[in-house]
Structure 1
Amino acid sequence: MCKTMDKNLSAGDAASLAGVTVKLIQQSESLGLLALDGTRPNSNPGLYTEDDVQRLRFIRRGQAFGFSVRETGDLLRLWQDNERASSDVKRIVLEHIEELCRRIEELEATRRSLERLAACCSGDQRSDCPIIDELSELTGFAKCITRLD
């Protein structure tokens, strides 16, 4: 019998069909993402349905887009709500885009700082290193600026 036709699937089979790990299933359950509509039978712990597999695929795709657990939960609820307003979905996505832009700006600032530190480091056999000084809060970058002046 084909596994996709079984009413109840083991965690391993559900994970395989959804393209996730068993650990993700366990995390999704503990965070309340897997049984948002209350349809999971408590009498069959460890058994999963095709609906669960679809939710797991949704969660996996949400993770791929970098959505938080809260955002994923909100999107799952909207996905399961036939009376949802697409504006609610769009609002979540636009907020996520703003967060991504903020994180990108932070990463770019970090990259620029590291590039400046790398430029200050002689990279030779000497033991003094502005990168190590900066990481140990010995103001390596400030030392470098003074040295460059």
Structure 2
Amino acid sequence: MRDQTIGQAAQDAGVGVETIRFYEREGLIEQPIKGTGYRTYSPELVTRIRFIRQAQRIGFSLKETQELLALRANPAADCAEVRAQAQHKIAEVDEKISELLRVRAALEAVVASCPGRGGLEDCTILEALEDAPRGPGTCRCDEPRKGKPR
């Protein structure tokens, strides 16, 4: 495989041209030197772009991806370091899943209490959102309103 233009490199790596430019600005890849009037991207650079994209797909941030790239380039690095980073990412994902499950439960509670009809003045979902100081997931949707007949 020979060097490619940015458009060819982007297509081969499965990203857009602007993604490559973004990676250059962020310091994830070096901007190639102009050769014959335009920049060319080596097969190794295209492989690096694919690596970055795949790391993003599985949830690594750009900073974390930079750390993985540094480990990858360090001949003294150990696979255990990469594994530790991946395990840390799994813990973060588990935390996000827990939070999303809490959000889902809160939404299910307010939706279940909603009669699904009537004017907005009787909307228990909007009322629950207005009563937010009690914290997420706490809804008094089934309680009678003060001063307003149901």
Which whole-Å deviations, capped at 9, do the CAs of 1:24-68 have from their partners, x for residues lacking one? 212211111113xxxx54445743111110011101110111111
Normalised TM-score (structure 1): 0.81
Q: Which amino acid aligns with 1:70?
A: K
Q: Hey, what's the Cα distance between the residues in 1 that align with 2:127 and 2:28? A: 44
Amino acid at match of 1:130: T
Partner Cα distance (1:11, 1:134) in 2: 52
Structure 1 vs Structure 2 CA RMSD: 2.2
**Higher Rg of the two aligned structures:** 2
1:124–1:27: structure 2 CA closer, same or farther, 3 Å change rule?
same
Partner Cα distance (1:33, 1:67) in 2: 13
> Which blocks of at least 5 consecutive residues in structure 1 are unaligned?
none
Normalising by structure 2, we get a TM-score of: 0.80
How many residues align? The count is 137
Displacement, 1:79? Answer: 1.6
Alignment partner of 1:24 is 2:19: yes
Residue of 94, 97, 101 corresponding to 2:94: 101
Residues 1:70 and 2:63 are matched in the alignment: yes
The answer for the alignment partner of 2:127 in structure 1 is 133
Q: Which amino acid aligns with 1:101?
A: D
Corresponding position: 1:122 with 2:115: yes
Larger displacement relative to structure 2 (75-84 or 16-25): 75-84
Aligned-residue identity in percent: 34
